[in-house]
Every structure is written in C-alpha cells, then in structure tokens.
Amino acid sequence: MAYAITQSCCKDASCVSVCPVDCIHPTPDERDFATTDIVYVDPSVCIDCGACADACPVAAPKPIDLLRGPETIFAELNAAYFERRPEREEPKVHTWEEMGGDLERSLSIAIVGTGPAAAYTARQLLLSTDARITMIDRLPVPGGLVRGGVAPDHVDTKKFADLFQWAYKHPRTSMVMNVEVGRDISHRDVLRHHDVVIYGVGARRDRELGVPGEDLPGVYPAPEVVGWYNGALDVEPTGVVLQGDRVVIVGNGNVALDLARLLLHDPDVLARTDMPDHAVQAFRGLDVREVVLLGRRGPSAAAFTRPELLMMPPGIDVVVARDEFTVAELEDAEPETNAAVLAALPLVDVDLTTPPGERRRLVFAFGRQVVSVEGDDQVEAVQVAPSGVAEQAVKVPCGTLIRATGHRGTPVPDLPFDEETATVPNEHGRVIDPDTGRPVPGTYVVGWIKRGATGGIGTNRTCAHETIQSIIADANAGLIPPAPRRRLTFGPFVRTRVDGVVGRRRMLAIEKAEEKAGRREGRPRVKFSSVDEMLQVSPATSLH
C-alpha cells in the first residue's frame, strides 16, 4: 500500500532526499515547489518502503490504509497531483543539497536564535562541516517558533523539537541561553570570539491597521495572542483577555485559521495539549460562536494553505459570505488555487450586523476592511466596509478584534535594517552595508529576518543551505578573518556580563522538568510561566 503526505507536511524535503524511486514531488528544484502547500507521493510509483516516514520530522507521510477521519482526503489529493501531471521527469541530482565544496579551515560560528531557521542552520553545519557552533538565545529554553508559535493542537508539527534537539546536544555545540544580543552583549562581543555570526532571530512585530480605535482593550496583534496561548515568557498570562460571542480576525492566512480553530475548538481537546493552564481556562470560559476572517482582497488572494483548512475540526460550519465580488472570483477560480478550495464551501448570505446563531461558524468575508473600532473601555464593535469604500461601512458587533496581518522583523542592533521589507539587507545570506554595498565582515542572516515572513518551518532548510553555501565560499576565498579571541573564552566572558546564563545542562533540566510535569497530567509538557520558575529548576552549570 502506497504512502500519502498529510496535513503536517513542512516541505523541508527530507522525504525527497531519501526516496529510492523518486516518487515524491515537487522537489525544491522544480517550479511547483514554490506554489504547492505540501509535497505529494505518486501512488503508482511508491514501493511502500517507508523511508519518507522515517526521514520526516513531523510524521506527515502515512500509509494510505491507515488514514482515518479528516486525513482520508489526503490519499485523493496525493493521487490527483500526479493525475494532473502525467509526464514524469527523470530523477535528478538534488542541487539544494550540494554544499558547494568543503571548508578549507575550521570555523567557529555563533548562531543567534534557536528556532527553526537557526536550528536547521546548526544542523546542516554540523553534518557537512567540522565547524564548532555556539547557539545564543534570549530565552532559557530553545525552539523559537516551534515552542512559541505552532498551535498547541498541531502535535505532529511540534515534533520538529525532536529533530532540533540533535543540534542542541551535539558535542560541537555550546548553548548560551537567557542572553540577548543587543541588550546583554553586543554584536561586536560575539564576533570577537567567533569567526562568523549568523542571525536567525525571526520576525516578532505585526502590521498595524492604522484605524481609529485600534488602541482599545480587546484589540490584539496575532503574535501576542499566539504567544499567550503558547505560554510565551514575554506575554503575561493576563495579557490577553478574549471576550464576546463573535471574534473578528483581520487576515486569512494559517495564523488566522489557527486562531479561529482554537477559538471554536472543544476546550477538553486543548486541555490535553501543551497549552498553558491559564489559556485553557480562558478558552473554557468563552462562548465564541462565530469567527469572521476579513480579507481586503478576493478569494484568489487568500493566504492559508489547503491542508490547514481541510483539518478544521468537525462540528464547525465553514462558509463563505456571499457578495457579487466574491461570487465572480469563485466562478473563475483556477484549479489548485485557494479560490478553488473556497468554491467548494457553502456560499451563504451573511448579516454580520446581527448576533451570531447557535451553531459554531467560521465565516470567510472577502473584499472587506476594518475602518474603525468602537467602544468605550473595551471593543464593542468594528466598522467594516467594502475595500476602498469606507462610506459603506456597517457596524459589526464583536468583543475581540485580532490583527493577523503578517509578521515583520525587528531591527537587530549594530546591523543595517530595511524598514520597508523589515529585513536585514543581504545577498544570499551575506549581510550587506547599504551605504557601501559591501558585505559586513563575518555577518550572515537566515530565516524570516533574511527573506521576510514567508514560508513555513521546512522552508528554512533550503534557506539555511543558501546561507551556508555563502559562508563556505567566503571562507575559502579568504574573506572571513579568524576571530581575535578563542571561542572557548566566550562563555566566561558572557558570565561576567550577564546573571542567570543558562547552559546546555541547565536548559535540558528545564525541559525535562516540563515534560515530567506533563506526563503526570497526560500532556506533552506543562510549561513554566516565567524565567524565574525556570531558573529555580537546577543550579547554574557550565555552558556546555
């Protein structure tokens, strides 16, 4: 029985690399890779060897005969991809895995961040070079987006943490945690002890709407809400207060769908995840019956991925609000687009000015924008108008408004920054000084701070590969001078500057304590709610 790729696919192409019969497409070398939501197994070629399942960090490939419930649709989706593409390409060398030559000298490399981009970079460097790595993070625990951004009920996606643990625990890796570059130590401090510094710090800001009333309590940026229900240490347990029987979310990407799904979900299911207790209790106290996703543009511009929508829990009505503009786009939907997926949903007349009904419902409303937020001490309603026609606004009662309008990078101290793209200017990962047009010595970027907030977790594998290729080329060309101080002196230096530095042993003790508490409650882990709680788990130990 053939395998099929399912919802949790991360597109890091690990499965493509190991398939002995080249039956998984599109590969990163192929044009479709940039536009498909997941990769697919050709059931007519698959030999049921299971190599893809062994290689996948998130358990996305599954035998077709073991698919159950909502996952059964993925057998059809995998087969349909190849039915529409009967011509098979010849197996090829996967160019995204070619490292471009060996390092001619050993490098000491600092990686700022421990999320997917940083961890993929560390993993590939450790596998392909003899570099020695120092990973630095502002938090005492690693993981970045995997820990603090992936929805708690996406259990398979959270398995990335297991893949990255290998890099954190590697003998050539040192962990320097609870230390923020730019606040506790400078970029120059790090570069003085390392030949290369790579920033994989993600994108933590959001895009504001710029409308009256946006500063009212009850209006939240999506990163804050996501951090709150994931137990992020920089969001207080009381920092988000969700209210009302209707929640309006501006945006229709995967983050918006995550928010909608959790708001409409069964709290008993959430209580079995690693969602912190304060968030579980808050969801238990909610009576959200309708979530409205507002999109400024039409269905063809919807930003979600198809698997995310297909895995919406049962018992939730998912509909598209009918209007002339939306109907026209849905009728002209191109195959395999999000508009085609939306065209298969019920198209209904929706009156957002009236209270929601008794059944839980998710409403896609296209061609609409928020023009103002109303309320005295709390959000009570939003004025919603057709895009570009503010004078036709209608009053939509709601208790909470969430901006899920995309992420933006934050300036990195001592590095150039482009406010328009919210990225560090770079060429193939090399940081570029915009005043001179030349590379900043020994300084590189990876992930969202490099390319903008696009692509899922697995995209960071090919992104990391490109940056590593640049580092190897620069080192072999003599463009990376040796650091003036030894890497081994970095740890003692940091401890003279920062109290509460967390090394690898202490970091692992914190994670072990969370997992132990989780086992007692039948959950993956119970997260600590503060840095102080984490630091009390074990005494300070070495950085290694």
Residue spans of the domains in the chain: they are 3-96, 108-204+409-535, 208-217+232-406
Which residues fall within 8 angstroms of residue 356, CB to CB, at 6 or more apart? 245, 246, 289, 290
Q: Is the pLDDT of residue 132 over 90?
A: yes
Cα(43)–Cα(51) distance, integer angstroms: 15
What would the CATH number be for the domain defined by 108-204+409-535?
A: 3.40.50.720
List helix spans (H) across 1-86: 14-18, 51-55, 73-83
Residue 532: band (very low, low, confident or very high) from pLDDT cuts 50, 70, 90: very high
- How big is the CA angle at 286 (ends 283 and 289), to the nearest 5 degrees? 115
SS3 state at 533? helix
* Residue 160 to residues 10, 74, 155, 173, Cα–Cα distance (Å): 9, 21, 10, 18
User: What's the mean per-residue pLDDT of the chain?
Assistant: 92
The pairing of beta strand 40-41 with beta strand 24-25: antiparallel
Residue with tokens 């035998």: 63
Q: Which CATH class is domain 3-96?
A: alpha beta
Q: Is the pLDDT of residue 98 over 80?
A: no
Cα(20)–Cα(261) distance, integer angstroms: 38
Average pLDDT over residues 470-496: 95
Query: CB neighbours (10 Å) of residue 540?
Result: 14
User: Angle of helix 160-169 relative to helix 504-521, nearest 10 degrees?
Assistant: 150
| pLDDT cut 70: percent of the chain above it | 96
The b/e string for 119-157 (b: 16+ C-beta within 10 A; e otherwise) is: bbbbbbbbebbebbbbbbbbbbbbbbbbbbbbbbbbbbb
Question: pLDDT at position 426, please?
Answer: 98
Identify which of 518, 510, 501 has the alpha carbon closest to the alpha carbon of residue 174.
501
Residue 215: band (very low, low, confident or very high) from pLDDT cuts 50, 70, 90: very high
Q: Is the pLDDT of residue 283 over 80?
A: yes
Identify which of 264, 269, 226 has the alpha carbon closest to the alpha carbon of residue 247.
264
Question: pLDDT at position 205, please?
Answer: 86
Q: Which of 20-29, 124-133, 254-263 has the lowest mean pLDDT?
A: 20-29
Q: Is the dihedral of CA 127, 131, 137, 140 positive or negative?
A: positive
Q: Is the pLDDT of residue 155 over 90?
A: no
Q: Which CATH number fits domain 208-217+232-406: 1.20.1540.10, 3.50.50.60, 3.40.50.720, 2.40.50.100?
A: 3.50.50.60
Is the overall model pTM greater than 0.85, yes or no? Answer: yes
Task: Encode pLDDT of 324-350 as tens digits.
Answer: 999 999 999 988 888 999 999 999 999
Specify the amino acid at residue 389: V
Average pLDDT over residues 283-299: 96
Residue 217: band (very low, low, confident or very high) from pLDDT cuts 50, 70, 90: very high
The b/e string for 339-348 (b: 16+ C-beta within 10 A; e otherwise) is: bebbbebebe
Average pLDDT over residues 413-418: 96
Q: How far is CA 70 from the centre of its chain?
A: 23
Average pLDDT over residues 33-43: 90
